[in-house]
Chains A and B, each alone.
Chain A
Amino acid sequence: MNRVGRASVMLALGLVMARMLWTGSFGWFIQQRMQIPLLLATIVLLALGLYEGISGTREEHHKPDTVFKSTAPKVGWLMILPLLVLVSVAPTGLGAAAADRVEAFKPAEETELFPPIEESSDGPPEIRVLDFVNRAIWDESKSLQDRPMRLEGLVVNDADVPDGFLLTRFLVSCCAADGVPIQVAVRDVGQTFPNDTWVVADVVWREPDIPYTDLEDDVWNVDAELISITVDPDPPTDAYESPYE
């Protein structure tokens, strides 16, 4: 590929990245903290692309004998493949299909003390799904006992939870490819939601008869009983709110 070709690929990449940064949809694919590195990379891409495009076009016209001295292998064209997938499939992050494939995350023992959960003025306090699971398994002071909590997450229907669903968030440390689901089995729901619906659920932890740590393997769920549920009017999927924890 010649310099103008290289410039086109870099500009296309840069523009698509700039758009993803602008809309926040990059959050479906990578962790929020990668935003600044991605922004810097986008700026460099656009600057390199502009310089290559301008000087490449100029070179073609003014110094015909030095043109095409500088080529890159054709494999570089493959870099538009992710752009094509983005545009044609418009993928939107991890959901039920991903949760079915990977065992839910069971946090290792928390060494720190759990801070008290602050009350909220409108309804039960909202906590992260990871925090809920962590406290359910490891909090010796049982801060979740008999106390309604508000959780926000995706619906994943599962044969193990016939009377409800697995309320799911994904733990993503770098990009969606390393995502692991964190799940709370919400029981006694009484209605069904399609997979991947964002819901806000007020739940109370159902304490297990045997402590989780005495259960075999990692096949158990943290259970919770439903108090009330609404379809999330404002799911954390755009405008810089990460869908992941």
Chain B
Amino acid sequence: MVETRTSDDASHGHDHAQCDGDHDHHDHDHADQGQGTSLGRGYGPFILVIPLLLALLIRNQFDALGNADFRLWSTLFVSVCIQALPFLVLGVVVSGLIAAFVSPELVERIVPKKSVFAVPTAGLAGLALPGCECGSVPIAGRLVGAGTPPAAALTFLLAAPAINPVVLVSTAVAFPGNYSLVGARFMASLATAILVGSWWARRNDETLLSSLTADEHSHVTNKFHTFVDVAAKDLLHAGGYLVVGALAAATLQLVIPRSVINSVADSEWKSILIFAALAVLLSICSEADAFVAAGLPQFSLSSRLVFLVVGPVIDLKLVAMHAGVFGRKFAMLFAPVTLCTAVACAVIVGRFML
């Protein structure tokens, strides 16, 4: 976790002890602002209210804000964020429950010892989480924190957003009657998750992986309190990186000219590569990507399968979220490995099943 709280927090705690006697409950925030000594405590409401008021003041004041492309960018950015919110909330509720109620002992009892069994089991467990990729990042982080072998947690991370029932049903709706595509998506995604999981089981480089640990809660006995605390923390943590990803995705959607897509429809290899790139750059939710792929009928089914397999496992916003939850070094290694595995699995499965 990228946190800097050692010296900072100590000083806050100190400040707090000093202030506590001097001010009553309501004066706190104001007193802090006035003194300007203890940034980080009690400034929350202000850091929020002041920019919001400023934003309200500049509303409709500048021509630049009315620019059609900028308004479109805003629409895309906000809609990616809002669309992900329900899945993110579902994800952090589950991750909060894991932190509060799943002890390392329990994990040890449930998860098979050998990674040969643990990795495929974790992949199939992905069937049980109805959601998209944004929710599974904090869950995987907490699973590692609760003592799950990282290889199994990563397999779950990759499998859950691609093979859960909601995604499979929406794929079937987008491609009516084309059950072999639904099957191919399931097979290729599960294979990607298991292969990448096995790769990590072999490598298992602990120094690369920073995880969300539950140790900071050792002093708290109230499980409900732990649940809320972890859920809130993970929401803002993963949510912050989600916003970074949404910024990138909205910008790229505007920058990539459509003609690029149409010019490559004739070559199978080029269209496979372009679809892999699009899946990464556009960062479309795994519950919606099938509809996008269905809207591009000029491309072969197998190149569109690449889009459906790559999108849920790796894209811009996921790289940002992985870097936030598991560490930047890990994300830089994990992203290319996952991307190549996903493309290979999709191409091979596509050749046999489509």
A88-B55 in contact (CB<8A):
yes
- Option from A41, A74, A80 in Cβ contact (under 8 Å) with B86: A41
Q: Report the minimum CB–CB distance from B334 to chain A (whole Å).
A: 19
Beyond the given A4-B42, A9-B44, A91-B75, please list 12 additional residue pairs across the A-B interface where CB-CB is below 8 A.
A3-B232, A9-B48, A10-B235, A29-B79, A40-B89, A64-B13, A70-B216, A72-B237, A85-B74, A108-B297, A173-B174, A218-B298
Chain A interface: which of B62-70, B117-125, B185-193, B302-310?
B62-70
By the criterion of a CB under 8 Å from any partner CB, how many residues of chain B are at the interface? Answer: 91
B86-A60 in contact (CB<8A):
no
A28 touching B75 in the complex, CB below 8 Å, given contacts A9-B236, A52-B228, A175-B80: yes
Q: Report the minimum CB–CB distance from B30 to chain A (whole Å).
A: 14
Which partner residue on chain B sits nearest A93 by CB separation? B75
A88-B56 in contact (CB<8A):
yes
B79-A176 in contact (CB<8A):
yes
Those of A38-82 within 8 Å (CB) of chain B: 38, 40-41, 44-45, 48-49, 51-52, 55, 57, 60-61, 64-82
Task: Note all chain B residues with C-beta closer than 8 A to A82.
Answer: 77-78, 81-82, 243, 246
- Option from A70, A72, A81, A97 in Cβ contact (under 8 Å) with B72: A97
Please measure, in the bound complex, the distance between the C-alpha atom of A94 and the C-alpha atom of B13, giving whole angstroms. Answer: 49
B240-A75 in contact (CB<8A):
yes
A94-B86 in contact (CB<8A):
no
A77-B20 in contact (CB<8A):
no
Instruction: Please name 18 pairs of A and B residues whose Cβ atoms are closer than 8 Å in the assembled complex, sorted by A.
Output: A8-B44, A20-B82, A37-B87, A41-B89, A48-B231, A69-B219, A72-B233, A75-B241, A77-B240, A82-B81, A87-B56, A88-B59, A89-B70, A90-B59, A91-B75, A97-B71, A173-B170, A177-B250
Task: Note all chain B residues with C-beta closer than 8 A to A41.
Answer: 85-86, 88-90
Please measure, in the bound complex, the distance between the C-alpha atom of A79 and the C-alpha atom of B82, giving whole angstroms. Answer: 11
Which secondary structure dominates chain A's binding surface? helix
B80-A177 in contact (CB<8A):
yes
Which partner residue on chain B sits nearest A105 by CB separation? B295
Interface membership of A144, Cβ < 8 A = no
Q: Report the minimum CB–CB distance from A189 to chain B (whole Å).
A: 22
Please measure, in the bound complex, the distance between the C-alpha atom of A26 and the C-alpha atom of B56, giving whole angstroms. Answer: 19
Interface membership of B177, Cβ < 8 A = yes
Task: Note all chain A residues with C-beta closer than 8 A to B324.
Answer: 73, 75
Please measure, in the bound complex, the distance between the C-alpha atom of A114 and the C-alpha atom of B147, giving whole angstroms. Answer: 56
